[in-house]
Amino acid sequence: MIREHHLRLRVQGDRPITVSEVTAFLPGAHKLSPDPSERAGLFVSDKDGAPLGYAARTMPWSRDITGYSGPTDALIVFDNDERALGVAIRHSYDTPSHVSDVSGDYYFMERWNGRSWDEISAIDDLNKAEIYGVSGASRTSEALAWSLTERAQVGKTDASSANRLRVRWQDVALLTILLSGCVFAFVKNPRVQRWRLPFSIAVFIVLGFVLGDLLAQSLLIGWAQSRIPWQQTPGLVLFAAACFIVPWFSRQPVYCQFICPHGHAQRWLMKYTPVRWMIHFNADTKWSAKTLPVLLLALVLIVSFVDLPFDLAGIEPFDAYLLNAAGKATIAVAIIGLVAAIFVPMAYCKYGCPTGLLLDFLRRRSAHDKLSTRDAVALLFLIGAFCLAQFHTPIQSWLFER
C-alpha cells in the first residue's frame, strides 16, 4: 500500500531538468533540447543555438537504486568534449541528513568532474575508480555513484552493473552479527554465554559506529516507499528480514536483546547504576508511557502517507552512532534515552522505541489465536493507512492548500 501510494506521488511530482539548473555548470545555457537517441538526455545550447554541452538526470533509470532508505535523482552535466563538468543532487527519497552530507562533500561530488560519459558507464568497482563513499553516508553516496553509472549505461546493451548482486564486507559483517546473535539467543550453554559481553561490545562498536546499519523506521519506511535493495545491500536486507522472521517463529527477541547497540548501551547503564537511583512508575504512568511508541508509529504512518517533509531518522536514536552524519533531533533522542535509562531500566526500549514495538508485536502475537488489544491497534493502523491512501487528495487540500 505504501509502495503504490508513493509511486503515484513520485509520478505526479516528476521534475524535468530546467535551464536554471544547468546554468550552474554552463553559465551560457539558454535552451535544452531532447536527445532523440537512446541516451535520452538533453542537448544544451546558448542563445545563438551553438552547442554548449549535454545534461542528463539519473531518474527514472535510477529509481531502483536505493541508498539507505530511498533513491536519489541527480543531474550530471557534460561539456562539448563529453567531459563531466559537475554533478548535483536534484531530489532524493533517501534520509535527508545523509543526502545533505553527500551534497556537502565536495571531494565526493567533484570526483566525477573531467570523466567522460564512457568512463562513467564503464565503472564497475567504485574503489578502483577512486570514488570513495562519504563517511557516515556511505550507502547514500554509493547509491548516487551507482545511479550515475547506471544512467551512463543507458543505451548500451551490456548488463547494468548497478543491478548486479553485490556482496561487500559490510554484508558479510552483518550476517556474522546476526548468526552470532542467534547463537547467543538459542544456545544457553554457559561456555557460549560467557562470550556474550565481548560480543555485545564488538557489536556496539561495529554495528553502531562502523556500519551504522541499525534497524529503524526511516529504513523500513524508505524500503516500503521505494523498494527493497537486495542487489545493492543483500546483507542488510537479509539481516532485517531475519530480525523480523526469527522472533516470529521462535519468540526470541534476537535483535532487541542480543544485537541492537542502543539496547546494549542501556543494559550496561542498568547494570552499573546504583539501585537506589531507580524510579518506579505507577501503573497509570507505565500504561501511558507504553503508548508513546504506538503514537510514534502513528506519526510514521502519517508522515509517510501525507508525504510530509519530516526526517523520520529524528524520532529514533539509531543514526546518532554515525557521529558525523547524525542530526540534532537524533542525538537529542539518543541522549534523552540514555539518561532516562539511568533511572528507569531500559527506558527507551520499553517506552520509546517504535521499531522495538513492531518486532515485539510479531514476537508476542506469533503463537496466539485470540484477538488482543495489540491486534486491535494493528487493525486500526491498517484502517488508518487505507484511509490516508484513499483520501490523500482531500487531506492534502485541507492541510496545505489555500
Partner 1 sequence: MIIRLILIMALVAILAGVLLPSIAEKRLDQNVRGTLLTVQEALQKYHVDEELYPKQTPMSGAQLIVLLTESGHLESVPRNPWTRAVYSPEPSLHDRIRYRTDELAETYSLEALRLDSDEIHHVIDSTEHPSLE
- By CB under 8 A, name the binding residues for partner 1: 11, 14, 16-21, 30-34, 40, 42, 47, 57, 59-60, 284-285, 287-289, 291-292, 295-296, 299, 302-303, 307-310, 315, 399-402
The smaller minimum CB distance to partner 1, of residues 14 and 375, is found at 14
Quote the CA–CA distance of 317 and 313 in Å, as a whole number: 8
* Min CB(308)–partner 1 separation in Å: 5
The smaller minimum CB distance to partner 1, of residues 249 and 400, is found at 400
The smaller minimum CB distance to partner 1, of residues 132 and 281, is found at 281
* Min CB(316)–partner 1 separation in Å: 13
The smaller minimum CB distance to partner 1, of residues 3 and 251, is found at 3
The smaller minimum CB distance to partner 1, of residues 18 and 372, is found at 18
The smaller minimum CB distance to partner 1, of residues 45 and 170, is found at 45
* Min CB(16)–partner 1 separation in Å: 5
The smaller minimum CB distance to partner 1, of residues 174 and 353, is found at 353
Quote the CA–CA distance of 316 and 301 in Å, as a whole number: 15
* Min CB(187)–partner 1 separation in Å: 40
* Min CB(222)–partner 1 separation in Å: 17
* Min CB(17)–partner 1 separation in Å: 7
The amino acid present at 271, given as its one-letter code, is K
Quote the CA–CA distance of 344 and 172 in Å, as a whole number: 36
* Min CB(80)–partner 1 separation in Å: 20
